[in-house]
Amino acid sequence: MSTAWRPHPFHWVPADGQRHASHGRVADGDSSRMLCGEYAVAFYGVTAWLWATCVTCNIAAHELAGVPMVRAGHLEGRSVGAEA
């Protein structure tokens, strides 16, 4: 059977003013290499979840999850201006 639930192969990690993603869990205050290649220190404060998502991590996380990124042109006429 291949229908068993599997956890996401990445975790969101707020760090250094952006929401990055990492392959494994990163404890608060620990430094780890994010999917974008940057080393950052995790900070799980309330305001941290309001930070902007790291564009490179977002793309990498979508690829890991097997979910294609939605192109900006498909967002009902809105321009997200997220091109790197």
Q: Which of 42, 54 has the CB closer to Zn ion?
A: 54
Three-state SS string across 5-72, please? Answer: CCCCCCEEEEECCEEEEECCCCCCCCEEECCCCCEEEECCCHHHHHCEECHHHHHHHHHHHCCCCCCH
Among 20, 22, 32, 42, binds Zn ion (CB under 5 A): 20
Name the segment binding Zn ion (CB under 5 A); options: 6-14, 24-32, 44-52, 56-64.
56-64
Return the number of the residue (1 or 84) whose C-beta is nearest Zn ion: 84
Binding site for Zn ion (CB under 5 A): 20, 34, 36, 54, 57
